[in-house]
Amino acid sequence: MPSNKSVSDATITQFINCRILKDSRLQREDLWVREGKILDPEKLFFDEEGFTDIHVDCEGSIVAPGFIDVQINGGFGIDFSQATDDVNGGVTLVAKKILEHGVTSFCPTLVTSPPHIYHKVLPEIKVHDGGVEGAGVLGVHLEGPFISREKKGAHPERYLRGFETGGVGDLLETYGRLDNVSIVTLAPELPNSLAVVRELAERGVTVSLGHSVASLSQAEEAVKQGATFITHLFNAMLPFHHRDPGIVGLLTSDQVPANLTVFYGMIADGIHTNPAALRIAHRAHPAGLVLVTDAITAMGLPPGRHTLGQQVIEIEGLHAYVAGTKILSGSIATLDMCIRHFKQASAHCLLSGCSIEAALEAASLHPAQLLGLSHLKGSLDYGTDADFVLLDDELNVRATYIAGQQVWKK
């Protein structure tokens, strides 16, 4: 007997008994997937006269787009800023482990390092889609060395540098090729930085402002040249001041072009940012919030000493310090922990839109929009990649799917 599937013979899976995050609200709908993409059921039934091959009962779970971590330095004993003999193997290990935390795509992040580290490590990190072997790599995030000495944080001062040539030459000399680079964090107050911001933006690289003592006007100029992100808001920048709010002022600046969203990363681990500061930022500019882990080697490991690039890091409880100091150096939080913490921190402000939906979109839709990938990732719209996560009401991860295939289950 001939099949009705006139357009494609590929298997169609229908996920039933779920609440889907769509159009910024949880909706009781089914989810259809075919060939790794979210399918429009109306076209399936009426245009193709097709039918479902497989039913998956989600048992009342929340179904949200897969999480995207745009700032993660490593984890589970792996430090992305180390020039090991098997860089790709380290990235693959982290990619596999973060599936259980709902992360389906990420940007391996390299902190300030000497040029030979970048020249060895960068060519070995491949941009690729995710699957059973792990989360997809969207490109590398280079945090430093073009940052402020005053706000270097855990970045080693001896490797910091400025833009001496006035162009992109300094970047190429330091990093090598930029083919697989998706984000560069720099300080916009450095001499000649604006030309570099413009050049990077023209190359399709997301420019982030961070580790900086920039004034608001300096930050605004960088945005006008193409910067669209702020690296871990409030951390490693001038504190908010009413006469010059610095980079933080971008959240409500009237100098940001009307058609542009400035996004800002926040480490919602309960340590880097007070819950009140989280709420202030979100209320001021909810559409820009991007939850990041800034996770280091020690994520997933017991307390002790570990590395972050060229520094030794000591873990005390949930704090990660440069050894022998009280300088915070990344986090040991996972992205699902950050989402739960943000939801908890914002539980008192439901009227201003701090909700489960807002928490989930800050780790999926917003990072996808930041990277210009929202036509593929970060939502459950028809035609997008079927990367999604099943969660319980407390936002604990039950299962992770990439391209419609289950890649992790609790």
Determine if residue 358 is labeled as part of a ligand binding site.
Answer: no
Nearest to 368 by CA among 22, 65, 20, 27: 65
> Strands 140-143 and 103-111: what pairing?
parallel
Q: Which residues have C-beta within 8 Å of that of residue 44, sequence separation ≥ 6?
A: 12, 32, 34, 50
Instruction: Determine whether the annotation assigns residue 143 to a binding site.
Output: yes
**Residues contacting 120, CB < 8 A, separation 6+:** 83, 87
Q: Helix or strand or coil: residue 370?
A: helix
Query: Do the annotations mark residue 272 as ligand-binding?
Result: yes
CB atoms within 10 A of CB 383: 11
329 in a known ligand binding site: yes
Ligand-binding annotation for 236, yes or no, is yes
**Sequence-distant (≥ 6) Cβ neighbours of residue 274 within 8 angstroms:** none
254 is catalytic: no
Residue 235 among known ligand-binding residues: yes
Q: Is 154 annotated as a binding residue?
A: yes
The DSSP code sequence of 73-132 is: -EETTEETTS--TTHHHHHHHHHHHGGGGTEEEEEEEEES--HHHHHHHGGG---B--BT
Query: Which candidate in 170, 269, 294, 385 is catalytic?
Result: 294
Residue 375 marked ligand-binding: no
CB 80 within 8 A of CB 108: yes
Q: Which sequence positions are flagged as catalytic? A: 294
Q: Give the residue ranges of the annotated binding site for Zn(2+).
A: 143, 211, 232
Which residue ranges make up the annotated binding site? 143, 154, 211, 232, 235-236, 243, 272, 328-330
Extract the annotated binding site for substrate. Answer: 154, 235-236, 243, 272, 328-330
